[in-house]
A = this chain, B = another copy of it.
């Protein structure tokens, strides 16, 4: 009980933590696991929420299986077939509207609870940057609340 109270007091004086992760994609479309890079920034005590935000409009963030790599490939295959790069009616001059659509579908942020230094991910969950218009350098902001 006292430990909990003390934890609360200490947490009060903790500033929100903001870090940046850089990722280099090597293909036009790929899912790049960043679980380890994010985990490095989780505080060793206390609990709360880790929020990730990508500052781009042609990639996204998602959480999915990190055991069988075929899952990543199946996700990418389905998205590529369903949202083609060249599509009747697309007008954007950069010819990457498919990447913008996939970016909005996946979302630009994910939020994960943490406790005592560990992200509370399920057994099979990994965090992925979803590259849809690489190869590029991508930035992800990690905010610990």
| Residue pair B74, A111 in contact (C-beta under 8 Å) | no
Q: How many copies altogether?
A: 3
| Residue pair B75, A104 in contact (C-beta under 8 Å) | yes
Q: Is A13 an interface residue (CB 8 A)?
A: yes
| Residue pair A87, B78 in contact (C-beta under 8 Å) | yes
| Residue pair A141, B120 in contact (C-beta under 8 Å) | yes
Q: List 21 A-B contacts (CB under 8 A).
A: A7-B15, A8-B15, A9-B13, A12-B12, A18-B113, A49-B51, A53-B111, A53-B113, A55-B120, A55-B121, A55-B125, A57-B71, A68-B94, A70-B91, A70-B92, A74-B89, A75-B104, A78-B90, A79-B101, A108-B125, A120-B141
Instruction: Give the secondary structure class of A's interface.
Output: mixed
Binary contact readout A90-102 vs B (1 if CB under 8 angstroms, 0 otherwise): 1111100100110
| Residue pair A8, B14 in contact (C-beta under 8 Å) | yes
| Residue pair B71, A100 in contact (C-beta under 8 Å) | yes
- Of A21-29, A32-40, A59-67, which binds chain B? A59-67
